[in-house]
A and B are shown apart, each in its own frame.
Chain A
């Protein structure tokens, strides 16, 4: 059992997260974590308790055994970087929250992580896993009912709220500020989303009067809302807040709105016929304090951290 790489991965994750006072408590000291769920950084994770007790080889579930036999965990992600979840860092390595999780999970299983980044959209990631092309999707995936028909989702490891970014000028032409919340509930007009993403589905589900305008990627959608070609763009709160970091003058022309009762749980996905892998991942995720807020993730993994 190669414990050493696991520990390094663990330390790295622990260091980054504890820097903002947040614990991603890792399975190393599962008891300690459940007993003390305070957001206090854990002490240095020296292996006082042994990491993963090796199970008797012949009793392992077949879906886990298949991964161990192969010696690598194939993780599906979209072709396009999604900082701060996964992106190619300055040294050419894949970094970010999802990448850290993937490496940590693989080392828990005692295998290496390899990444399949052929999917062009989030829905294609789900399809890839459903077809058996990858063991698990760790790709900032939103849980949706449509996707859950194909794959088995784990517990969410991050929960975002839905958010929109409005073009202020178009918004002012639509309504006075007085009736703004009312307008936001019965939204009409053109709303930009990433094509083949969960938010394309959410829009039809929660805002039936709005017209979805699918874009190839998020950057094009954001450019469109800046130009006023669409009234708003729709995604999770973190992506909405990130725009202010990349374009400091964004607030002059754009207005962020968060739908506080609309949750976007981000979870991993495995094929439906691999229930035990999903159950194992839930056990793994249970050892986390999973109430991470978008701002904290953004601060820890955000694009500002990319370039030191």
Chain B
């Protein structure tokens, strides 16, 4: 992204280097410290800064869906044209499924070993009980004689997940930002586009590529504002965390962040080995933007453009494949959520003192994977409600736990989002080859003129 930003803008070298300072990891780190400090010490200021952080987030989100659609369609169409789709897609499926199961098992094991809901003390139980008691809708009011007033709140099950996949109206899906449906459409459309004759498809593929690159350019520019946005976003986040509920759920939170830390190290190892970069710190430095955006915005899709740029430009993975695999991965492979659902299910099982047999463990592992996939494009309570996909087959109550999960989510969500983004970068690194490896002949046949690629690479500015 450095390259495109420097190449795209007509800035003088001095100005460019000054601006580049804004992207230095030290500056990013400083802004995080400033954000945390503000959030703790000056809650009022933090609340005033919230709209600025929101504006930045909106600006990034504005570009997310166009990037999602154009990247998947053009990526898939070009892979099919290059006749390398089959192997890539098979590899992708294997890696995605394996990563999801690994994530689920990690969450499960953490829950079994750490027992987050095992021995809650009396005070913690009271804090949680009061929290549920004070929540809206805890007291259900029904009419015995008249069923017309029933609330229509529905629980999510597996069939809802399938129903969420196919858009009855693609324009509505785009309008509402239903990520799973958008991705489903993009895949189907990309396959179709790859299978029609080149004279008919090249124009559209090139058009999609132009849209994709323009939006990526926008994101690249917006990253200069990241330090300021980080201060605002993090200050607001820190200021909104309730101390009491946090201490009641301390064990759960610590466990989740611990398993997150372990997976962070493992993922970094994978990316480092696959990238061929000598110094593992260079890997971290290249991925600084996506890491920080995911933590600060708590939106995995907001981190998508920066992730694509980092993998393409800094870590030099194949452009076409990255721009296909990463959007697909972030939509389907919701690793952070999968780990969370597995761990949270264990919390509920332990809270209600339920026995666990092999069958129930299987339900938790697979259920968490589907629940995770179902969270694509949803945020807030909708994300958490998907835990019903796991808990309902187990015969466990959802409602009370959901209220607790919502209350504690301010400290969980950043890690969850980070894991989605970071593990997807690792998964993509496993699937995709690097560009400086022998370029397969198939790529020569791709629609994108190879010349343009070389220009891009020449433009690349080291950090």
Q: Which A residues form the contact surface with B (CB < 8 A)?
A: 162, 168-169, 171-173, 176-178, 180-182, 184-185, 206, 241, 244, 247-253, 255-262
Contact = CB atoms under 8 A, between A and B. Distances in A.
A204 to B, nearest CB: 14
A171 B142 contact: no
B139 A169 contact: no
23 contacts: A162-B144, A168-B397, A169-B354, A171-B397, A176-B392, A178-B154, A178-B155, A181-B140, A181-B150, A182-B147, A184-B140, A184-B142, A185-B142, A185-B147, A244-B133, A248-B133, A251-B132, A251-B400, A252-B132, A253-B352, A257-B140, A257-B141, A260-B142
Nearest to B399: A177
Contacts of A184: 140, 142, 144
A244 B134 CA distance: 10
The 5 closest A-B pairs by CB, nearest first: A249-B129, A251-B132, A249-B125, A248-B126, A168-B397
Contacts of A262: 144
Most chain A C-beta atoms within 10 Å of own C-beta, residue among B122, B140, B141, B153: B140
Contacts of A180: 140
A171 B398 CA distance: 11
B142 A252 contact: no
Interface string B127-155: 01111110000111111111100110111
B396 interface: yes
A172 B147 contact: no
Interface residues of B, number: 36
B163 to A, nearest CB: 14
A162 B416 CA distance: 43
Given A173-B395, A258-B140, A260-B141, A181 B147 contact: yes
Contacts of B352: 168-169, 253
Contacts of A252: 125, 128-129, 132, 351, 400
Interface string B34-50: 00000000000000000
Contacts of B141: 257-260
A250 B129 contact: yes
A255 B140 contact: yes
Given A257-B142, A260-B142, A177 B129 contact: no
Interface string B100-143: 00000000000000000000001001101111110000111111
Nearest to B125: A249
B143 A260 contact: yes
B130 A206 contact: no
Most chain B C-beta atoms within 10 Å of own C-beta, residue among A171, A251, A262: A251
